[in-house]
Structure 1
Amino acid sequence: MRKLQSFLAAVTVLLVFSCKEKTEKTSEEIAKTEFKVDFEKFTLDNGLQVIFHIDRSDPVVAVALTSHVGSAREKVGRTGFAHLFEHLLFLESENLGKGGLDKMSARIGGSGANGSTSRDRTNYYQTVPKDALEKMIWAEADKLGFFINTVTEPVLAKEKEVVKNEKRQRVDNNPYGHVNYVQTKALYPEGHPYSWTVIGSLEDLQNATLQDVKDFYNKWYVPNNVTLTIAGDFDKSQAKEWVKKYFDEIKKGDDIPALEKQPVTLAETKKLYYEDNFARLPQLSLTWPSVPEFHKDAYALDVLSSYLAYGKKAPLYKILVEDKKLTDGVRMYNYSSELAGELTLSVTAFDTTELTSVNSAIQDAFALFEKEGISDADIRRIKAKQETSFYNSLSSVLGKGFQLAQYEIFAGDPGYVTEDVKNILAVTKEDVMRVYNTYIKNKNLVAVSAVPKGQASLVLDGSTKAEVVEEKIVEGKESTFDPSIVATYEKTPSSFDRSVEPPYGESPDVIVPEVYKKELSSGIKIFGIENNEVPLVTFNFRINGGMLLEDKNKIGVSNLLASMLTKGTKNKNPEELENAIQTLGASISASASDQYITISGNCLAKNYTKVIELVNEIILEPRWDTKEFDLLKQSTISQLQRAQANPISIARDQFYKVLYGNNNILSNNNAGTTTTVKAITLQDLKEYYSANISPKVTSFHIVGDITTPNAIASLKTLNTKWEQKDVNVPTVIAAKTPENAKVYFYNVPNAKQSVLLFGAPAIAATDKDFYSAQVMNYRLGGGSFASQLTQELREGKGYTYGVRSSFSGGKTSGLFTVSSGVRTNVTYEASQLVKDIMSNYSEGYNQNDLEVSKGYMIKSNARAFETMGSKLNMLENISMYNYPVDYAKQRENSVKNMSVEDVKKLADKYVNPDKMIYLIVGDAKTQLNKLNKLGYGEPELLNPDEVLKD
């Protein structure tokens, strides 16, 4: 992925249907009567495939350009090119100019141009207000046909550094980051298109020449290898004219033959291990060869994976978690790609657990499955979940368009959705047993043990040491480049002047959803939005308190309580409750934070009444299951141990400790510590529940295909039976702003990156300046590629994969933070640059900065309420912060009236680098002493014992 935000196109199917029909039908009946695809497809003379999908529910359009090239089309010795191109295509093109689509996105209110790369395709996507559609078509055409001349040696050198930083962050500096590399190399024979990872080899990237890049582009980035998808609220006739105007004259490339399917077989089982610099717990991953995408067995393998690993009935859960207590959970998934597939089972065991015992337990679980099989009821339960997932996938026009392209490229027809659905619903219990016997039972596999440094004794018996290539970062040895050099080239001829950016279309009419509010006699406050775009309901109960109501010596009680709430009820044991939820195709979860306990649900509208009845049981009649409590405690301890190995988690926890100090409860991680969690008893949870779980401090938020009267009536039982207890939630004690800046360092020996987390106390979400401060921050670090921090640290220096600044606020206090992961050997240089940017921000802010910020903040409102999740978030803001119902519109008006001087005053008031905490998590041996040069005194080492160990 190109940016820190991951785009998860976890869309099982894409179907367009009538939402008005309320008759109850089975999944199979719906497939026969209502599942149809609504799209129009045409092909330009140059081979470009174009797919249109109309969705007028919101005034937005999603545009996606998908090239049928991923890492599988690379050459040995030149791996990582597809992913490198994902980065390069955003930087510049002949007519968009420097900054490319990123710069334009900031002006037009886009969601932020982004992209992703897989083994088989690379895509580029963005959702924009519908008045910017022509601009997007123009921009995408410019990237496809008028790009390669802008790539120069400095541009290539800089982007290589960005990609290397991404690999450091995702792989080298991450627990278990090398598992995929070891698996891939062992599973696929040398030369197989999947025998290297998508991100590729750093050595290959470093060796890439400009001619290599041009050859790759000219072969794969041609219209006849690309699909353009447009989904949303637009005029098809007009859009077709624009597509032809901007794409027609781009030359067709050479014919690209389809690759043959290349499933693999293993002649023997391979057992490998490596010692992980960041892991704190041993992990075993087993991988079997499976089948390519859309193979008939892929559907049964999905069901098999779900049944074996997830939920109380799952054999792997029963044996590994409940019976043998080796782990707190098991992951299993079938990953089918265009040419081949793989089935992976992964277990992160508890501390010091021998992985041979984990493997034995897995075999016991398989034996249990072979004995008991899978029932028709289990098949129906899993299909019910798939049905709800299907409808959830329809809440975003981007998800719809993305899936249409997926079907076109890999199945040869966007309408393949019909066959896909039939295949999903046709899976039988006999199919599940058959694929188990075909792909798992007694089959050769790849087993990878990843264990903490110095704990090789834990690896699976018979394992041999894997070759893991770790980059050596040497001071002063990185490539240098001058990003200010402007490329000079002869522009590609065109029949019209492409340098003229198209005008905006008709401005979209942004409609703020209508909100209803009501307070029940019990004290429950209701906030709702009726929304019948899809037959779903999503909701949550937010109960004030969270960690604020805990004993400082037993931090973690509310977190454990939240987890316990879904582990059975008075009349349903944990497995019965889980089955009841899943049979309805619903999800119900509970979580805790510093200030809240939240119970959330998502379901088909037709099942809402039954789902809310289960929530009533969860809230009113918790089970207090001793066995589940013990499992949850061990699971929480394991999660805390894993977090201690993650530099980003370390930075967050240490920052709050320094910021709030020992006497403020907010200095703690709300999950607690291994010490506090061990001290918590089931009685502690019962006492917290009895004293603090009350309707008087509860807000209910609901969005979906349910009328206002029915939503209110659904809470009748809670309103009458939930005991109305007075709860005194303490006011948050705000952190004190440091009188002088200070540098803190947490040592992670041999870290490939340093995590920077700088910040200070700031304004609450209820403060009149809160939104204005976000506008001010847009060009500082909140606007991604439109921000100075990104432009200078990533685009200008290649120090980082991503950097951002943000204001976050609660009801009474807030924070301003800057965060990034940077190459280890530029820790001081990056920190100094961040400091300089903050110091000079106010002075350098100008009218253009303001216009860019205004343009984005105002135009992005068209996207503000597109999904059910965004609507639910809107309700939470209204209830938590007492915002007016039309707060989005009011903010829009306030932005229009802001001046440059207003922004400068806000920057001077809320961004003061000389009164901040500077926290760095990295390799102290090489980086600590250099930080004296920041001018904030001697850095304080937060874990000196680790340095002594090293």
Structure 2
Amino acid sequence: MIKQIGLSIVLTASVVSAAEAQTKLVEKVTKKGDELVIPYSKYKLSNGLTLIVHEDHSDPVVHVDVTYHVGSAREEVGKSGFAHFFEHMMFQGSDNVADEEHFKIVSESGGTLNGTTNRDRTNYFETVPSNQLATALWLEADRMGFLLDAVTQKKFEVQRETVKNERGQNYDNRPYGLVYEKTSQNLYPYGHPYSWTTIGYLEDLNRVDVNDLKNFFLRWYGPNNATVTVGGDVKPEEVVKLVEKYFGSIPAGPAVQDMKPMVARLDKDRYVSYEDNVRFPMLRMTFPTPEAGHTDEPALDVLAEVLGQGKNSIFYKNFVKEQKAMQASTSNSTSELAGEFGISVVTFPTTKLADMEALVRKSIAEFETRGVTEDDLVRFKAQAESGLINRMASVSGKVSQLAAYETFRNNPNYIQEEIKRINAVTKEDVMRVYNQYIKGKNAVILSVVPKGKSDMVAKADNYTVSTDGFVAGSDEYSGLKYTKAVDTFDRSKRPEIGANPVVAVPNYYTSKFKNGLKVIGAKSDEIPTVTLQLSIKGGHRLSANDMSKAGVASLTAGMLNEDTENYTSEEFTNELNKLGSRVSIFSGTDETIVSVQTLKKNLDKTLALMEERMFRPKFNQDDFDRLKKQQLEGIANQATQPTTIANNVYSKLLYGANHISAMPSSGTAETVNNITLDDVKKFYQNNFSPSVADLVVVGDITEKEIIGKLNFLKNWKKKDVKLVADTKAPAIDKTRIYLIDKPDAAQSEIRIGYVAMPYDATGEYYKLGLMNYALGGAFNSRINLNLREDKGYTYGARSGYGGSKYAGPFTASAGVRADATAESVTEFMKELTNFHKTGITEDEVKFMKSSIGQSDARKYETPGQKAGFLGRIIEYDLSKDFVKKQTDILNNITKKDIDALAAKHLPVNNMHIVVVGDKKTVLSKLQALNYEVVELDTDGNPIGSSSVK
């Protein structure tokens, strides 16, 4: 049977396997003309597993995604966090894959992998060289069908600690980290599937046992509740055979019914609040809206954009532009069962949230007067088109899209329907949804205020979660049995792999304009886009000549994103958004970047806007005053952030207080207060020059085409810009611990290291990257396996060399449980010391060579990856064969070479150890270690010292 979907042919047929006709070809979608579509074939196995295959031979990589239609919404009251917990357990080995082997096998294959959980689904995915397809499918099938006997109590306990660390790092100890949890609790009725978050509650995680977790797997992780999506350098018939072999014999699990939408209902405005370790009060208003896929969803998305997205929005004008708040935005977020229209305002420290609520309501009412314009719809539709196209830049992006559409729409080709829905939105639709869901409707109004400032809330709390009316659902877990597949082959044997695919380094062209501007580019026609990245050397480092005005580079970049001679910033943004393009300027440590992304068809108009932004800034005093105020508030806020404190103090210790690298690129309150608008103008006039600039171009355009469009850059007048030479970092006479007190912190931030060396693509720096891979560079590195997987001290620990043109640090780092702070320092130093003394093992050398050697297949896939690769070539003046030289170094490096590097470049007796944590919890244990302990304030100034031993 043949049926038509859009302009795509869909075939219904069947595939005959070697054994019997058990896998059906449900449909095949092919691209016709210029339509926006991801071609695929869709199959159904006899056990209910859905298979989708997308064939794309543009790069020698393959992406495998297994999506299970189960998220936190399938959990029970009192047993929250199971879906996410199981995501962790799925990486802990199965019958034929040993503990920690999943990460190791994929990494060794040159691949990358992960898993994610949300309310409605859990997915697991790998991107690997195409010769490793069978390995990826074998791994995924083994944990689908052969997991539970490998789930031990010990693994359960370690991963429970890891999840608790993740909650601490990303929720409990992160500013505003509980906003989503508090909103969900109070928006939905008690027991509603969305009334808790995916991470779950600590008390639930502490309560459950390993058998609860096993039952969750048996109920929801069957092949009939899963979609396997494979994309990349594959042939569909080969994928079908492999999936039949590895997945086909896994028995179906219990039947799974789709859940019906359960949109929240509010009988009044619910005011709730909590105190947090923040500087800026936050107001969050949440209105119930329909679920994803509902006919009103696109119109609500337009409403969110008009109200509070970008510089053309009402909220930007009333809050940010008028300096009433640091940030103000709106969004329409949708999930499978319900949606939420959210309004967030982050205001200044002395502002009462009641005043912000009043301005929110006034701004909402203003929408009625303003209405919806044609420009609003043009902007929304252009950005939606650009977003859909850019998602197709990688095989993983296309596979993820197919998997999501199949899981939630039962139609991988839903992109066609998505386009129709977007293009069909009218001004009348937007006004209708405003009246139906927002105007005069009730909301959850959450106030987040600094600790001790409860008087700043919008209104006193008037709602408490009630269990009245809650009825537990039917028992989903009784009588479940674990039945393993019966195979005709030995599943314990890893699949044979073919030869490594031939990876072509992108062909590129170079050019140099008379004014000194260097150009490097590559044609890439997989998607109809063009990316430009202009790097102007200097950035924050130029302030080394006058550190009293550090932060001027950041302020200058901010001002270049404001008004120009011919456009207000709002008008400029409007023009960009109507094209679905982006032109933005930002400053870094060593450079200022002009970043441009556009659809090919809109390139000329986008380049005209790039020229306007770069060469015709208006430098308004009002814009300067607003940005300076925001920068000063951001600096003040850093004193509340343990991660930022750790990084800043660590840098100050590494480089010395008078080194520009010791100064944050945003500056300090003192230095930013010194900066005037004239300073910004002077910085722009003196330092923005083609003589210190590089341009990278990647996209669907030839060298001749793009060079012909760059006259405005050819005519850029050069200046004599002198880049600042680096100064030597102070020597470290001995390893000490520096403690910065963060009262009541449940986690501690640790940084350990010293100033190493500059970047070198084919010298000792490159070799240090090879050396560090087994120490702290891979997931299966010694440091991460010890602190995360074995001890459960952290969500993740790592080490690495961070060189640029200037000397950069070696740093080992982690955020760890407060009660394991001293123990974590001990384990870090143990691993560093052991590696320093005894070096690497032969097995680790083999793993490193295999992993890094095969990873080239993933390096040049997307326009962004190509731009990064070319940018490094032009920045460091690398030869065309530098990748071959790196490969030769990799292939020839020995254990003896790496041991020598470790002995030379891991000076464990001459490193700084920085700890940001709760002094009363961690100090005594740190003092018991064999290091002097020096206490510092949050600016890195000494406040006392003590030592034991």
Q: TM-score range by the shorter chain?
A: over 0.9
Structure 2 residue 451 is matched with structure 1 residue 453: yes
| Correspondence for 1:248 | 248
User: Hey, what's the Cα distance between the residues in 2 that align with 1:286 and 1:252?
Assistant: 43
| Correspondence for 1:524 | 517
1:760 maps to amino acid: Y
CA gap of 1:507–1:452, structure 2 versus 1, over 3 A, is same
| Correspondence for 2:860 | 865
**Secondary structure, counterpart of 1:127 in structure 2:** strand
Contact 1:515 1:885 in 2 (8 A): no
**For 1:509, which of 484, 502, 505 is the aligned residue?**
502
CA gap of 1:61–1:154, structure 2 versus 1, over 3 A, is same
CA gap of 1:426–1:889, structure 2 versus 1, over 3 A, is farther
Structure 2 residue 545 is matched with structure 1 residue 588: no
**Secondary structure, counterpart of 2:522 in structure 1:** strand
The Cα offsets for residues 837-889 of structure 1, whole Å up to 9 and x where unpaired, read as: 00001415211100000001110001110111111111111122222234223
**For 1:685, which of 646, 666, 680 is the aligned residue?**
680
1:396 maps to amino acid: S
| Correspondence for 2:74 | 73
The count of aligned residue pairs is 898
| Correspondence for 2:184 | 184
CA gap of 1:638–1:434, structure 2 versus 1, over 3 A, is farther
The Cα offsets for residues 604-648 of structure 1, whole Å up to 9 and x where unpaired, read as: 112112211221122222111222112211222232233332211
User: Hey, what's the Cα distance between the residues in 1 that align with 2:811 and 2:414?
Assistant: 46
User: Hey, what's the Cα distance between the residues in 1 that align with 2:157 and 2:415?
Assistant: 42
1:544 maps to amino acid: K
Structure 2 residue 519 is matched with structure 1 residue 533: no
1:403 maps to amino acid: Q
Range that drifts further, 360-369 or 135-144: 360-369
| Correspondence for 2:317 | 318
User: Hey, what's the Cα distance between the residues in 1 that align with 2:371 and 2:33?
Assistant: 29
**For 2:805, which of 805, 811, 815 is the aligned residue?**
811
| Correspondence for 1:670 | 665
User: Hey, what's the Cα distance between the residues in 2 that align with 1:390 and 1:114?
Assistant: 23
| Correspondence for 1:578 | 573
The structural deviation recorded for 1:464 is 5.2
The Cα offsets for residues 424-470 of structure 1, whole Å up to 9 and x where unpaired, read as: 121111111111111111100001111111111111023359899xx
User: Hey, what's the Cα distance between the residues in 1 that align with 2:33 and 2:200?
Assistant: 44
Contact 2:312 2:571 in 1 (8 A): no
**Secondary structure, counterpart of 1:576 in structure 2:** helix
The structural deviation recorded for 1:490 is 12
Unaligned stretches of 5+ residues in structure 1: 1-13, 18-29, 469-488
The structural deviation recorded for 1:33 is 6.3
| Correspondence for 1:892 | 887
Range that drifts further, 739-748 or 926-935: 926-935
Contact 1:16 1:37 in 2 (8 A): no
CA gap of 1:36–1:396, structure 2 versus 1, over 3 A, is closer
**For 2:359, which of 358, 361, 364 is the aligned residue?**
361
The structural deviation recorded for 1:794 is 0.7
**Secondary structure, counterpart of 1:97 in structure 2:** coil
Contact 2:316 2:329 in 1 (8 A): no
User: Hey, what's the Cα distance between the residues in 2 that align with 1:662 and 1:35?
Assistant: 54
**For 1:836, which of 830, 838, 841 is the aligned residue?**
830
1:894 maps to amino acid: I
Contact 1:526 1:712 in 2 (8 A): no
Structure 2 residue 701 is matched with structure 1 residue 706: yes
Residue correspondence of structure 1 range 137-536 to structure 2 within 5 A:
137-276=137-276, 278-323=277-322, 325-463=323-461, 493-536=486-529
Structure 2 residue 750 is matched with structure 1 residue 756: yes
**Secondary structure, counterpart of 1:691 in structure 2:** helix
2:889 maps to amino acid: S
| Correspondence for 2:116 | 116
The Cα offsets for residues 405-442 of structure 1, whole Å up to 9 and x where unpaired, read as: 11111111112221111111211111111111111111
User: Hey, what's the Cα distance between the residues in 2 that align with 1:895 and 1:516?
Assistant: 27
| Correspondence for 1:20 | none
Structure 2 residue 797 is matched with structure 1 residue 798: no
The Cα offsets for residues 273-318 of structure 1, whole Å up to 9 and x where unpaired, read as: 1110x21110110001111111011111111112211222211111
User: Hey, what's the Cα distance between the residues in 2 that align with 1:749 and 1:947?
Assistant: 16
2:841 maps to amino acid: N
Contact 1:861 1:888 in 2 (8 A): no
User: Hey, what's the Cα distance between the residues in 2 that align with 1:558 and 1:534?
Assistant: 34
CA gap of 1:947–1:137, structure 2 versus 1, over 3 A, is same
User: Hey, what's the Cα distance between the residues in 2 that align with 1:227 and 1:671?
Assistant: 46
Contact 1:37 1:418 in 2 (8 A): no
Contact 1:749 1:924 in 2 (8 A): yes
User: Hey, what's the Cα distance between the residues in 2 that align with 1:945 and 1:609?
Assistant: 53
Structure 2 residue 644 is matched with structure 1 residue 643: no
**Secondary structure, counterpart of 2:909 in structure 1:** helix
The structural deviation recorded for 1:108 is 0.3
**Secondary structure, counterpart of 1:637 in structure 2:** helix
CA gap of 1:305–1:514, structure 2 versus 1, over 3 A, is same
Structure 1 stretches of at least 4 aligned residues deviating more than 6 Å after TM superposition: 14-17, 30-33, 465-468, 489-492, 944-948
The Cα offsets for residues 533-580 of structure 1, whole Å up to 9 and x where unpaired, read as: 111011111111111222211111110100111212112222222222
| Correspondence for 1:912 | 907
**Secondary structure, counterpart of 2:227 in structure 1:** strand
2:740 maps to amino acid: Y
User: Hey, what's the Cα distance between the residues in 2 that align with 1:15 and 1:216?
Assistant: 42
Contact 1:603 1:611 in 2 (8 A): yes
User: Hey, what's the Cα distance between the residues in 1 that align with 2:862 and 2:527?
Assistant: 10
Contact 1:62 1:401 in 2 (8 A): yes
1:511 maps to amino acid: A
1:527 maps to amino acid: I
Bigger relative CO (Cα 8 Å, ≥ 6 apart): 1
**Secondary structure, counterpart of 1:939 in structure 2:** strand
| Correspondence for 2:650 | 655
User: Hey, what's the Cα distance between the residues in 2 that align with 1:356 and 1:230?
Assistant: 51
Residue correspondence of structure 1 range 771-782 to structure 2 within 5 A:
771-782=766-777
User: Hey, what's the Cα distance between the residues in 1 that align with 2:629 and 2:841?
Assistant: 54
**Secondary structure, counterpart of 1:641 in structure 2:** helix
1:365 maps to amino acid: S
User: Hey, what's the Cα distance between the residues in 2 that align with 1:305 and 1:887?
Assistant: 48
User: Hey, what's the Cα distance between the residues in 1 that align with 2:941 and 2:191?
Assistant: 46
Q: Cα RMSD between the aligned structures?
A: 2.1
| Correspondence for 2:23 | none
Contact 2:739 2:934 in 1 (8 A): yes
**Secondary structure, counterpart of 1:273 in structure 2:** strand
| Correspondence for 2:475 | none
Range that drifts further, 343-352 or 887-896: 887-896
**Secondary structure, counterpart of 1:915 in structure 2:** coil
Unaligned stretches of 5+ residues in structure 2: 1-5, 10-30, 467-481, 945-949
**Secondary structure, counterpart of 1:929 in structure 2:** helix
The Cα offsets for residues 510-542 of structure 1, whole Å up to 9 and x where unpaired, read as: 000011111100110101111111110111111
Residue correspondence of structure 1 range 25-44 to structure 2 within 5 A:
34-44=35-45
User: Hey, what's the Cα distance between the residues in 1 that align with 2:32 and 2:331?
Assistant: 25
Contact 1:282 1:349 in 2 (8 A): yes
Contact 1:15 1:417 in 2 (8 A): no
The Cα offsets for residues 318-351 of structure 1, whole Å up to 9 and x where unpaired, read as: 111223x221321221111111111111111012
CA gap of 1:730–1:35, structure 2 versus 1, over 3 A, is closer
Range that drifts further, 617-626 or 824-833: 617-626
User: Hey, what's the Cα distance between the residues in 2 that align with 1:424 and 1:835?
Assistant: 55
| Correspondence for 1:766 | 760
Range that drifts further, 295-304 or 846-855: 295-304
Q: What TM-score comes out, normalization by structure 1 length?
A: 0.92
**Secondary structure, counterpart of 1:58 in structure 2:** coil
User: Hey, what's the Cα distance between the residues in 1 that align with 2:827 and 2:264?
Assistant: 49
The Cα offsets for residues 892-924 of structure 1, whole Å up to 9 and x where unpaired, read as: 221000100011111111112211110111101
